[in-house]
C-alpha cells in the first residue's frame, strides 16, 4: 500500500507529468536550514523549467499532524510523507517540494511551522513564512475545526508572523505581492456552520492585523490590500470518508479548472518569477532570510534577472559561437564563403530569439541591458568574419579582374577601353553584391571603404595593363618600322648617291608618319592621357631614329663600308662605262683611270660620315622633331640628337681612307702586272 495515498505514477513521458521523475519529491530546505543545491535540476526533471510563467506555486502551513501532507497528496497527486499512524514518528522540520501530477504546479509542504505549540523557537516559522510568501500564490492554512477561535492558538501566532513578514516584503507595493490565504478547516463536523467559522476567523485575522505594529507610512493599510481570503471545510476523514473524498475532489477542481468561478490560482497572485529562475530566486530568498537581512524583493528580482539573463545569454552565445566557428577557418583561409551574410543573420537572430524567449520574462531593465551586451558579444564574433569576407572578396574580385583583363587583351581586335570597362564593372559589381550580402542589418558595419580601396587597386591594375599594352604596341610598331626601313636604307647606302641621305630621311619620315598614325589609331581605345600619348609617340620617334642609326652603323662598320668603297672603286676601275671588265693594254692610261676611280671613291667617305641631306627642309625637320622628344620614359636614356647625326669621326674617316688606299693600291699593282704579263706572252 502506498502510505502517501498518492496515486501510483505511470510512465507516459515527461511533458504530462506521468514519468517517474514527475513524481519525485525534493527536500528544498532541510532540518539544518540548508537550501538544496538540486532544485534547478529537479525543476528540469519535473519538466517545468521551460514553463515560463505558466506554472503555479502553492504552500501549506499548519500545525503538526493536521493532515497537511495528506491533503496536498489528495489535491495535487503529490508524494509527500504522511505520518504513519501505527508508529507516530515525528516528521522533521524542513520544506519539501513536489510537482503536481498532470499540472504545472510546484507544491511546498512546510513542516514544523508550529514551533510555538511545541515550545520551540519561532525562528523556522518566521523564515519559512517569508520564504513561502515571497514565492507562493496560494498559502493554504490548514487547521482543525476546534482550533478556530482559539486566538492564542498556534495558528494565530503563525498568522501574525505571516502578516508581519508580508508587510516587510511587499509593504508599499501591495499589487506586486498579492497572495491568497486559503483556510482549510479539517474534520468539520457541521455543528458550527461554515459561515460562522468564517466570520470568527475573519474577525481574528482583522484583530491580528490591527495589533501589528506597522511602519508609519503603512498605518492605514488594510489586510485586504495584501491578501485575498478564502475559506473551505473538509468533512472528517475517518468518520465520513466518502464525503471527505468527494469534497477533496471539489477543492481540487478549484486549483485545476481555470474556467471555474472560484478558481484559486488567479493571475494576480503570480509572483512573476520565470520557472527557469525559481531555483535561483528561492535560494537567494532563503540566503537573505537565513542571514537575517532585510528581504528586498525588487532587489532579489533584479539579482535573479542578472543571474538568469547572464546564464541565458551565455547559453545563447555558446550555441551561436559553435555555429560561427564553422565558418571561421574557411574565412581565415581566404575563402569567400557563399551566403555567409545569410548564415550570420540567422545565427544572430537565433541567438537573440533564444535570449528573448527566456530572458524577456525577467526584470525589463536588466533584460534590456544584458541584451545590449549580448548583441555586442555576437557582433564582436561576427565582425572578424565580416571583415575577413570583405578582404577575401576584395582579393578574389581583384584576381578575377586581372584574369579577365589578361583574357580580354588576348589576340587581336579588342578595344582596350571596352575590356577595362566591362572587367571593372563586373569586378565592382561582384564585390558590391557580395559585400551587401555579408552586411548584417542593425550593425554599424560598412563595406564602402573596402570598395574605395578596391576601386583604387582596379585602377592601378588597369593603368599597369595599359602601360604594358602601350609598350607592347610601341614595340610592335618599332619592329615593323625597322623591317620597313631596312631595304630602302641598304639600297640608298649602297648606291651612295650624293642625295642618299635625302632618300633615307624621306623614307624615314614617311615610315615614321605611318607608324605614328598606327599608334594613334590604336591608342584611342586605351584611354591614354594626352601626356601618355605624347610620351609614347616620343619614345616611338626616338626608337625609330635609334633603329635607323643602328642600321646605318651596321652598314658603315669597317668591313662593310670598306666593301662598299671597294665595290664602288672596282666598278669604276675594273669595268668600263658599259660594265665590261677591262683588260689592260700597255697603251692604256692605267694611272689616270686609277686616280679617277680612287678620287671618286674617296669622295664618298665624307658623304658617309655625316647624315646630311641636300634638301635643307629635311635637315631642319629632324632636329626640330628631336627637340619635341622628351627623355624616353620607356628606356630612361639620355639622348643627344646632334651627336647621332655623325656617322663616323674625321679620325675614323682618315683610317678608312688609309685602309682603302692600300686596297686600291693592290688593285693598281695587279692591273700593272696584268699588262706586263700580256706583253710577256
Q: Interacting stretch for ligand GDP, rule CB under 6 A, among 20-28, 62-70, 345-353, 531-539?
A: 62-70
Q: Interacting stretch for ligand GDP, rule CB under 6 A, among 82-90, 205-213, 366-374, 622-630?
A: 82-90
CA 325 to chain centre: 11
For the CB of residue 373, give the shortest distance to ligand GDP in the complex, in Å.
Answer: 47
For ligand GDP, the binding residues in 266-325 under the rule CB under 6 A are: none
User: Three-class SS of residue 360?
Assistant: coil
* Burial (Cβ within 10 Å: 0-12, 13-18, ≥19) of residue 653: middle
For the CB of residue 320, give the shortest distance to ligand GDP in the complex, in Å.
Answer: 48
Q: Does 402 bind ligand GDP (CB under 6 A)?
A: no
Beta bridge partners of 179: 227
Q: Interacting stretch for ligand GDP, rule CB under 6 A, among 59-67, 153-161, 164-172, 642-650?
A: 59-67
Q: Any idea what DSSP says for residue 434?
A: H
In the block, residue with C-alpha cell 652603323: 553
Q: Any idea what DSSP says for residue 582?
A: P
Q: Pick what 4 binds: ligand GDP, Mg ion, none; C-beta below 5 to 8 Å, kind-dependent.
A: none
Question: Is 297 within 8 Å of 170 (Cβ atoms)?
Answer: yes
Q: Does 389 bind Mg ion (CB under 5 A)?
A: no
For the CB of residue 313, give the shortest distance to ligand GDP in the complex, in Å.
Answer: 42
Beta bridge partners of 347: none
For Mg ion, the binding residues in 69-108 under the rule CB under 5 A are: 69
For Mg ion, the binding residues in 41-70 under the rule CB under 5 A are: 69
Q: Which is nearer to ligand GDP, 239 or 654 (CB)?
A: 239
How many positions of this chain bind ligand GDP (CB under 6 A)? 16
d(CA 229, CA 209) in angstroms, rounded, equals: 13
Q: Which is nearer to ligand GDP, 143 or 438 (CB)?
A: 143
Instruction: Candidates 23, 66, 179, 507: give the one binding ligand GDP (CB under 6 A).
Output: 66
Query: Which residue number places its CB atom closest to ligand GDP?
Result: 67
CB contact burial 497-526 (16+ within 10 A = b; e otherwise): eebbbbbbbbbbeebbeebbebbeebbeeb
CB contact burial 660-669 (16+ within 10 A = b; e otherwise): beeebeebbe
* Burial (Cβ within 10 Å: 0-12, 13-18, ≥19) of residue 418: exposed
- Taking CA atoms, 430 is separated from 81, 402, 436, 464, 477, in Å, by 73, 14, 10, 22, 37
User: In the structure grid, which three cell numbers stand for residue 78, read together?
Assistant: 503529490
Instruction: Candidates 36, 69, 179, 381: give the one binding ligand GDP (CB under 6 A).
Output: 69
Q: Which is nearer to ligand GDP, 104 or 142 (CB)?
A: 142
Query: Which residue number places its CB atom closest to Mg ion?
Result: 69
For the CB of residue 106, give the shortest distance to ligand GDP in the complex, in Å.
Answer: 18
Q: Which is nearer to ligand GDP, 252 or 582 (CB)?
A: 252
For the CB of residue 380, give the shortest distance to Mg ion in the complex, in Å.
Answer: 53
Question: Is 79 within 8 Å of 6 (Cβ atoms)?
Answer: yes
Instruction: Candidates 48, 82, 156, 671: give the one binding ligand GDP (CB under 6 A).
Output: 82
d(CA 302, CA 491) in angstroms, rounded, equals: 106
Q: Which is nearer to Mg ion, 25 or 466 (CB)?
A: 25
d(CA 221, CA 353) in angstroms, rounded, equals: 43
For the CB of residue 103, give the shortest distance to ligand GDP in the complex, in Å.
Answer: 20
For the CB of residue 85, give the shortest distance to ligand GDP in the complex, in Å.
Answer: 4
For the CB of residue 75, give the shortest distance to ligand GDP in the complex, in Å.
Answer: 12
For the CB of residue 120, give the shortest distance to ligand GDP in the complex, in Å.
Answer: 15
For ligand GDP, the binding residues in 171-200 under the rule CB under 6 A are: 186-187
Q: What is the three-state SS of 641-679?
A: HHHHCECCCHHHHHHHHHHHHHHHHHHHHHHHHHHHHHH
For the CB of residue 108, give the shortest distance to ligand GDP in the complex, in Å.
Answer: 12
* Burial (Cβ within 10 Å: 0-12, 13-18, ≥19) of residue 539: buried
In the block, residue with C-alpha cell 514553463: 51
Q: Does 85 bind ligand GDP (CB under 6 A)?
A: yes
For the CB of residue 211, give the shortest distance to Mg ion in the complex, in Å.
Answer: 30
Residue 173, CA atoms < 13 Å, CB-side half-sphere: 10
Q: Which is nearer to Mg ion, 69 or 389 (CB)?
A: 69
Q: Does 68 bind ligand GDP (CB under 6 A)?
A: yes
Widest distance between CA atoms in the chain: 187
Q: Does 67 bind ligand GDP (CB under 6 A)?
A: yes
d(CA 487, CA 239) in angstroms, rounded, equals: 140
Q: Which residues contact 559 (CB under 8 A, 6 or more apart)?
A: none
Q: Pick what 327 binds: ligand GDP, Mg ion, none; C-beta below 5 to 8 Å, kind-dependent.
A: none
Q: Does 23 bind Mg ion (CB under 5 A)?
A: no
For ligand GDP, the binding residues in 228-257 under the rule CB under 6 A are: 236-238
Q: Pick what 33 binds: Mg ion, ligand GDP, none; C-beta below 5 to 8 Å, kind-dependent.
A: none
Q: Which is nearer to ligand GDP, 155 or 389 (CB)?
A: 155
In the chain, helix, strand, coil percent, each to 5?
Answer: 60, 10, 30
Q: Does 15 bind ligand GDP (CB under 6 A)?
A: no
For the CB of residue 92, give the shortest distance to ligand GDP in the complex, in Å.
Answer: 11
Q: Which is nearer to Mg ion, 170 or 244 (CB)?
A: 244
d(CA 34, CA 28) in angstroms, rounded, equals: 8
> Interface residues with Mg ion (CB under 5 A)?
69
> Interface residues with ligand GDP (CB under 6 A)?
64-70, 82-83, 85, 91, 186-187, 236-238
Amino acid at each position: 500500500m502506498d502510505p502517501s495515498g498518492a496515486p501510483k505514477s505511470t510512465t507516459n513521458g515527461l511533458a504530462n507529468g506521468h514519468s517517474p521523475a514527475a513524481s519525485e519529491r525534493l527536500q528544498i530546505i532541510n532540518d539544518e536550514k540548508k537550501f538544496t543545491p538540486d532544485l534547478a535540476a529537479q525543476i528540469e526533471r519535473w519538466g517545468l523549467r521551460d514553463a515560463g510563467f505558466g506554472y503555479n506555486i502553492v504552500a501549506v502551513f499548519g500545525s503538526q499532524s493536521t493532515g497537511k501532507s495528506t491533503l496536498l497528496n489528495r489535491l495535487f497527486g503529490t508524494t509527500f510523507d504522511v505520518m504513519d499512524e501505527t508508529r507516530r514518528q515525528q516528521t522533521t522540520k524542513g520544506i519539501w517540494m513536489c510537482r503536481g501530477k498532470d499540472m504545472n504546479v510546484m507544491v511546498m509542504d512546510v513542516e514544523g511551522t508550529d514551533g510555538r505549540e511545541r515550545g520551540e523557537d519561532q525562528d523556522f516559522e518566521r523564515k519559512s513564512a517569508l520564504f513561502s510568501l515571497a514565492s507562493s500564490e496560494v498559502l493554504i492554512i490548514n487547521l482543525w475545526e476546534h482550533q478556530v477561535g482559539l486566538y492564542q492558538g498556534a495558528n494565530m501566532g503563525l498568522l501574525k508572523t505571516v502578516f508581519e513578514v508580508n508587510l516587510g516584503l511587499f509593504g508599499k507595493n501591495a499589487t506586486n505581492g498579492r497572495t491568497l490565504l486559503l483556510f482549510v478547516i479539517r474534520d468539520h463536523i457541521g455543528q458550527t456552520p461554515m459561515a460562522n467559522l468564517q466570520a470568527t476567523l475573519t474577525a481574528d485575522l482583522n484583530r491580528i492585523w490591527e495589533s501589528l505594529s506597522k511602519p508609519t507610512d503603512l498605518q492605514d493599510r488594510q489586510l485586504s490590500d495584501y491578501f485575498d481570503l478564502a475559506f473551505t471545510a473538509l468533512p472528517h476523514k475517518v468518520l465520513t470518508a466518502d464525503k471527505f473524498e468527494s469534497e477533496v475532489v471539489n477543492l481540487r477542481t478549484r486549483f485545476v479548472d481555470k474556467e471555474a468561478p472560484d478558481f484559486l490560482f488567479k493571475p494576480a497572485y503570480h509572483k512573476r518569477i520565470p520557472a527557469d529562475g525559481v531555483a535561483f530566486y528561492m535560494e537567494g530568498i532563503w540566503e537573505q532570510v537565513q542571514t537575517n537581512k532585510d528581504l528586498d524583493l525588487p532587489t532579489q528580482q533584479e539579482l535573479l534577472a542578472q543571474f538568469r539573463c547572464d546564464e541565458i545569454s551565455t547559453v545563447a552565445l555558446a550555441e551561436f559561437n559553435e555555429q560561427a566557428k564553422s565558418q571561421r577557418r574557411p574565412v581565415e583561409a581566404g575563402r569567400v564563403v557563399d551566403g555567409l551574410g545569410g548564415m550570420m543573420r540567422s545565427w544572430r537572430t537565433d541567438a537573440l530569439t533564444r535570449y528573448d524567449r527566456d530572458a524577456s520574462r525577467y526584470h525589463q531593465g536588466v533584460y534590456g541591458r544584458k541584451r545590449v551586451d549580448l548583441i555586442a558579444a555576437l557582433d564582436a564574433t561576427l565582425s572578424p568574419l565580416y571583415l575577413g569576407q570583405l578582404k577575401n572578396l576584395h582579393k578574389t574580385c581583384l584576381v578575377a579582374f586581372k584574369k579577365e583583363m589578361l583574357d580580354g587583351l588576348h589576340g587581336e581586335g579588342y578595344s582596350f577601353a571596352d575590356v577595362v570597362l566591362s572587367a571593372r564593372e563586373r569586378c565592382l559589381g561582384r564585390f558590391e553584391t557580395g559585400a551587401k550580402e555579408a552586411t548584417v542589418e542593425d550593425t554599424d558595419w560598412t563595406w564602402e571603404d573596402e570598395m574605395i580601396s578596391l576601386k583604387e587597386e582596379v585602377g592601378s591594375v588597369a593603368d599597369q595593363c595599359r602601360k604594358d599594352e602601350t609598350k607592347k604596341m610601341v614595340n610592335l610598331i618599332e619592329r615593323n618600322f625597322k623591317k620597313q626601313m631596312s631595304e630602302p636604307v641598304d639600297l640608298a647606302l649602297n648606291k651612295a648617291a650624293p642625295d642618299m641621305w635625302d632618300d633615307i630621311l624621306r623614307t624615314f619620315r614617311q615610315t615614321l608618319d605611318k607608324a605614328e598614325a598606327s599608334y594613334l589609331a590604336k591608342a584611342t581605345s586605351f584611354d591614354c592621357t594626352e601626356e601618355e600619348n605624347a610620351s609614347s609617340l616620343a619614345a616611338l620617334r626616338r626608337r625609330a631614329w635609334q633603329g635607323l642609326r643602328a642600321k646605318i652603323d651596321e652598314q658603315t662598320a669597317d668591313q662593310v663600308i670598306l666593301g662598299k668603297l671597294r665595290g664602288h672603286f672596282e666598278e669604276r676601275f675594273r669595268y668600263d662605262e658599259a660594265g665590261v671588265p677591262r683588260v689592260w693594254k700597255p697603251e692604256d692610261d692605267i694611272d689616270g683611270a686609277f686616280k679617277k676611280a680612287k678620287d671618286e671613291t674617296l669622295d664618298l667617305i665624307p658623304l658617309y660620315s655625316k647624315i646630311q641631306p641636300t634638301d635643307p627642309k629635311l635637315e631642319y625637320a629632324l632636329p626640330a622633331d628631336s627637340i619635341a622628344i622628351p627623355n624616353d620614359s620607356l628606356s630612361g636614356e639620355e639622348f643627344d640628337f646632334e651627336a647621332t647625326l655623325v656617322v663616323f669621326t674625321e679620325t675614323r674617316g682618315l683610317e678608312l681612307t688609309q685602309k682603302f688606299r692600300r686596297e686600291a693600291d693592290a688593285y693598281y699593282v695587279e692591273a700593272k702586272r696584268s699588262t706586263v704579263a700580256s706583253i710577256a706572252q
